Amino acid sequence: MSALIKTNIMPKVTPGARLLGEIITWTASGASVRHSDLIRALKEVGLDESVARELAPRHAFARACRKLSEARIIRQIAEDEASIQFQFTQESKQGDRFSYDFETLLTLTKKTGQVHCDKGELALLAQEELDRCIAVRTGSDITRIVQKLFEREADLFPIRPQGGAYFVPQLHAGFIDRVQSLLKQLNGQMLRFPVPEGTASGDVSVKEAVASGLSALIAEHEEAIASFGEDTRPDTVERAAERIRNTKFKVEAYAALLADQKHQLELSLATASRKLRQKVESLAAEREAVLVSLGRLFN
C-alpha cells in the first residue's frame, strides 16, 4: 500500500470532498418473513407499504407446486371466473423407464384460496403449503420490493452489465438510509460505498454509469413507441408521454453528473418525443382513412 501511495497510483481525495453519490449492493437471500411483518417494517421506516401487495391465491399456488410436485406432475387443465382446476399425475421410475398414473383433480377457488380434491391427505398438504406461500415472503420477493421502491423514489444505475451493484446519486441518500433500515429488519444487508467528487476515474465512471442508464431508459421509450398500433389505448400513449417527461426531469436533475453527456441525452429525448408525436399523427390518419372507407361503403 505504501508503494502505491508513493507512486501516486492511489487517487487523492480532498478532505471534506462533496459526494457524488454511493455505490450500493444488497442481499436478501437469507430473508424469509411473514407478509404482516413486512408491512409493519415498511411502515416503521416510512416506506410505501403498497409495494408489498397480497399474493393472489393463483400465484401462491404456483409456488406451492414446487413442493407438491416433488413426486408428481401438476398441470392446469381448466379455468373459469371462480376457480382453476389442476390434474395431479404420479410419476414413478421402474428400471430404465418412467411411468405416469392419474392421481386426482384439484380445484383452487381463486377468491378464497381454498383447495378441494377427493384425496384428503393431499388436499390438506396442498392447503397448508398454499397458506404458507400466501403468508410468507422470500428473499427474492424482498429484492423485487427494494427494486420497486427505487423505481418509485430514486434511481439505480447499474455499474456492471449483470446488475447487482448500483450507483445512486447523493440526493437520494436519505432514501437509501430507510431502505437499509428496512433490510436490516428483514434479516437482509446493504453495503454502501461513498463516491467522492474530484477523482478523475470516479467522476468519469459516474458520468458513464448515469448516462448509460438514462440512454437505456430512452431506448425503452422508443421501443414502446414503435410497438404502438391501431389497438393502442389513448391512456397508453399518455403514459408514454409522461415517462418521456419524467426522463427529461431526470436528465436535468443529474446534469452535474452527466457533464458533456447531457446534450446528447437531450437530443435523444427530443427524437423520442418526435417519434411519439409522429406515431400519434400516423395512427390518427389511419383511423380517419378507415372511417372514410366505411362511410363510402354505406353511402
Mark which of 137, 164, 182 sits at the end of a domain. 137
Print pLDDT tens along the chain (299 aa). 444 444 445 555 566 678 999 999 999 876 679 999 999 999 999 999 999 988 899 999 999 988 888 878 999 999 999 999 999 999 888 888 888 999 999 999 999 999 999 998 999 999 999 999 999 999 889 999 999 999 999 999 999 877 789 999 999 999 999 999 999 999 899 999 999 998 889 999 999 999 999 999 999 999 999 998 888 888 888 898 999 999 999 999 999 999 889 999 999 999 999 998 888 888 777 666 655 554 555 55
Separation of alpha carbons 137 and 118, rounded Å: 30
Instruction: Identify the residue whose cell numbers are 391512456.
Output: 235
Q: Last residue of some domain: 102, 137, 172?
A: 137
Pairwise CA distance, residues 61 & 112, whole Å: 12
Q: Which DSSP state fits 54?
A: P
**What's the confidence (pLDDT) of residue 7?**
46
**Within a domain: 38:** no
**265 domain residue, yes or no:** yes
Which set of grid coordinates corresponds to residue 213? Answer: 442508464
**Domain-located, residue 29:** no
Q: For residue 228, give the nearest of 214, 239, 217, 242 by alpha carbon.
A: 239
DSSP β-bridge partners for residue 75: 87
The structural domain count of the chain equals 2
Q: What is the CA radius of gyration of the chain?
A: 27
Q: In 3D, which of 154, 135, 134 has the Cα closest to residue 59?
A: 134
Q: Residue 157: what residue type?
A: F
Q: Establish if 176 belongs to a structural domain.
A: no
In a domain, 151, yes or no: no
Phi and psi (nearest 5°) for 116? -140, 135
Domain that holds residue 285: 204-293
In this structure, is residue 73 part of a structural domain?
yes
pTM exceeding 0.85: no
Q: Is residue 26 part of a domain?
A: no
Q: Tell me whether residue 115 is in a domain.
A: yes
End position of a domain, from candidates 107, 137, 167? 137
